[in-house]
Amino acid sequence: MTPALRVLNPGPHSSLQDLGRPGYQRMGVARGGALDGLGARAANALVGNRAGTGVVECILAGFAFALEAEGARVAFFGGRAPVRVRSSTRRDIGPAEVGRTMKLSRGDVVEVGTISSSSTLYMAVEGGFRVAPRLGSVSTDLRGGFGGFEGRLIKAGDLLPLALDDVPDAETMVLQGVDLAVPGKLRVVEGPQAGHFSIVERDRFFSSTYALASSSNRMAAKLVGPVLAHAGGFNIVSDGMVPGSIQVPGDGSPIVLRSESQTTGGYPKIGVVISADLPALGRAPVGAALSFERVSMAQAEAAAREFAALARSLPDRVVPARERDVAALLSTANLISGVVDASA
């Protein structure tokens, strides 16, 4: 039998994602990939996968599955969420929580509840999922209806095929020094159409606080707050867009494109969120208060190098859980947010 995860409850918005498919924008194909690329990389690092391995991205709440394989090592990373494991073998698999590897056995059921402190949660499984890449990626392109698992959100009853049927036992690992908080400020480089707004309107944008609208999704974060007036018209000849582009349509409410951005658009773009802050933009939950800080191109490029260094360092930040648990006991912090129920 093909090793797989059987989806029991898909959660509100779960899909397979990786770090996206660059190289096809000329064909109208979005780069796509994980909303929070840092969360996806961190989950993969925990189970020893390379950074671009496919993971399950959950938005708003987690999902529930049963393991239909001999054994699997999984890890969640992202926002806080209750993790509950019902062990089929009544084994003690240790505390179940986000940020900590778990070795599962056939029949084990994992349930992840509502995500708080962030909108996204990633689950990596050692070896990854066995799905055919489309255009070099296993990311699900929801607008295009392709990639990932059948080009759609996962649903109850799906069997997500795994690359490995079993993995050897190994120490439980945790990730140190990676903070997936949602910063209130995102850094922005002005342009390409900042000139379509007066200096006063640009200053208004950079001095205002916006709330993330509930209509936001993987394609775009819609902002509620002060509207911006265009200096001229609000239609431009459609041009290319990248994730992070902040377009201002006719109603003056800014829209920040996310990883599954449309590839072209005809509204003026006042600025673009820098690449180092795209993971934070991706994990910002509905209602989050966001403001935008103007930075120079040199600052943006320095931040990109810092982010690349952080991403490269992730495998080195994975350490045995017992080391951190001892430290935690000493500081009396309660790190156990999940429950293991071996009575199932």
Partner 1 sequence: MSAIDVPSNGVTPDFRILPVGDTAISVEFGDSISRETNQKVLDLAAGIEAAGISGIVETAATFRSLLVMRDPTQISFEALARAISAIPRKTTLRGTAARTWRIPVCYDRAVAEDIEEVAARVGVSSDEFASIHASVAHHVYMLGFLPGQPYLGDLPERISLPRRLAPRAKVAAGSVGIAMRMTCVFPRESPCGLNVVGRTPAPLSARALDGAPSLAPGDGVRFRPITLGEFERLAGEASAGASILELEAPAPSVQAT
Residues that bind partner 1 (CB under 8 A): 22-29, 134-135, 141, 143-146, 189-193, 195, 236-242, 244-245, 262-264, 269, 271-275, 296-297, 300-301, 303-305, 308
Nearest to 148, CA basis, from 21, 48, 257, 242 = 21
CB of 39 to partner 1, least distance (A): 19
Judged by CB, which is closer to partner 1: 10, or 243? 243
Please state the three-class secondary structure of the chain as a single string: CCCEEEEEECCCCEEEECCCCCCCHHHCCCCCCCCCHHHHHHHHHHCCCCCCCCEEEEECECCEEEEECCEEEEEEEEEECCEEEECCCCCCCCCCCCCECEEEECCCEEEECECEEEEEEEEEECCCECCCCECCECCCECCCCECCCCCCCCCCCCEEEECCCCCCCCCCEEECCCCCCCCCEEEEEECCCHHHCCHHHHHHHHHCEEEECCCCCCCEEEEECCCCCCCCCCCCCCEECCCCEEECCCCCCCEEECCCCCCEECCCEEEEECHHHHHHHHHCCCCCEEEEEECCHHHHHHHHHHHHHHHHHHHHHEEEHHHHHHHHHHCCCCCCCCEEECCC
State the minimum distance, in angstroms, from the CB of residue 145 to partner 1.
6
Give the residue with the Cβ less far from partner 1, 105 or 206. 206
Can the peptide bond before residue 192 be classed as cis, meaning omega within 30 degrees of 0? Answer: yes
Closest approach, Cβ 20 to partner 1, in A, equals 11
Question: 146 vs 206, which CB is nearer to partner 1?
Answer: 146
The distance of closest approach from Cβ of residue 137 to partner 1 in the complex, given in angstroms and rounded to an integer, is: 11
Task: Please say which residue, 5 or 19, places its beta carbon nearer to partner 1.
Answer: 19
| Residue 274 CB, nearest approach to partner 1 (Å) | 5
Least separation in angstroms between CB 313 and partner 1: 14
Query: Nearer Cβ to partner 1, position 125 or 257?
Result: 257
Least gap, CB of 241 to partner 1 (angstroms): 8
Which residues 6+ apart lie within 8 Å of 288 measured at CB? 182, 211, 212
| Nearer CB in complex with partner 1: 88/263 | 263
Closest CA to 180 of 280, 46, 253: 280
Q: Please, which residue, 94 or 279, has the CB nearer to partner 1?
A: 279
Nearer to partner 1, 108 or 190 (CB): 190
In the complex with partner 1, which residue's Cβ is closer, 5 or 274?
A: 274
- Contact criterion met (CB below 8 Å) for 94 and 189: no
Least spacing, CB of residue 24 vs partner 1, in Å? 8
Please list, in sequence order, all residues whose beta carbon lies within 8 angstroms of the beta carbon of residue 276, skipping any fewer than 6 positions away.
187, 300, 303, 304, 306, 307
Residues in the chain: 344
The nearest distance, CB 323 to partner 1, in angstroms, is: 32
